[in-house]
Amino acid sequence: MNLKKSLLLVGIILIIDQVSKIYIKTHFTYQESVVVFDWFKVLFIENEGAAWGTKLSDLLPISDNLGKLILTVFRLFAIVGIGYWLYDIIKKKSPKVLVLALSLIFAGALGNIIDSVFYGAIFNESTPVQVASMFSDEPYGSLFYGKVVDMLHFPIIRNAIWPEWMPYFGGKTFNFFEPVFNIADMSISTGVGILIVFNKKAFGKKEDEEENQNL
């Protein structure tokens, strides 16, 4: 995969991701849901933290605002690092599967960082009774303090009960799949999944070259 194809893929994912987020943000009240199938519904929530809504302030003795700022800055540095790595492997003509996976990860990370950096400054607050508007005179935050918009929910298994013999979980109810996510998250997860499943193909060229040099 060359640079043009990689950029095209990143661009397509970004457009789909941002269009879906902006539509949800400007048409849904907070936590409003639409059932598409029994196992899939569109559910609007906002994520202020990292994966599954985890806040840095939950792990460290710092304020929510400082934790949010640190997380956003970290994501920006990560984006730069991933972008440089992607450019480098394309330049070196690395295996297509590696370029594909990293393009997906880069697109997803970039999609979510757009929310974190800009959404707080351009949208007003979403509430259970108020739909947000874009370019509001009363934004809910500021630059670097935005919330990531999530909307995809797949409650495939609901209110199931763990067997009694299972330690700790026995007798408790659970739902699968509980987390709510977005297109950017899907892109990142797909890219990581490709790297795990096709690890040898993704990094095989470099390994083969190193083996030949050692012979």
Res 169: pLDDT: 87
Q: Among this protein's residues, is 208 annotated catalytic?
A: no
Res 151: pLDDT: 98
Q: Per-residue b/e over 130-158, b at no fewer than 16 CB within 10 Å? A: ebbeeeeeebbbeebbbbbbbbbbebeee
Q: Which residues of the chain have pLDDT under 50?
A: 207-208, 210-215
Res 205: pLDDT: 55
* Amino acid, res. 206: K
Res 215: pLDDT: 40
Q: Among this protein's residues, is 137 annotated catalytic?
A: no
Give the active site residue among 38, 64, 137, 185.
185
Give the active site residue among 38, 88, 137, 150.
150
Q: Cβ atoms within 10 A of the Cβ of 38, count?
A: 9
Which residue(s) pair with 152 in the sheet?
42, 181
Domain boundaries, the chain: 3-214
Res 174: pLDDT: 85
Res 176: pLDDT: 87
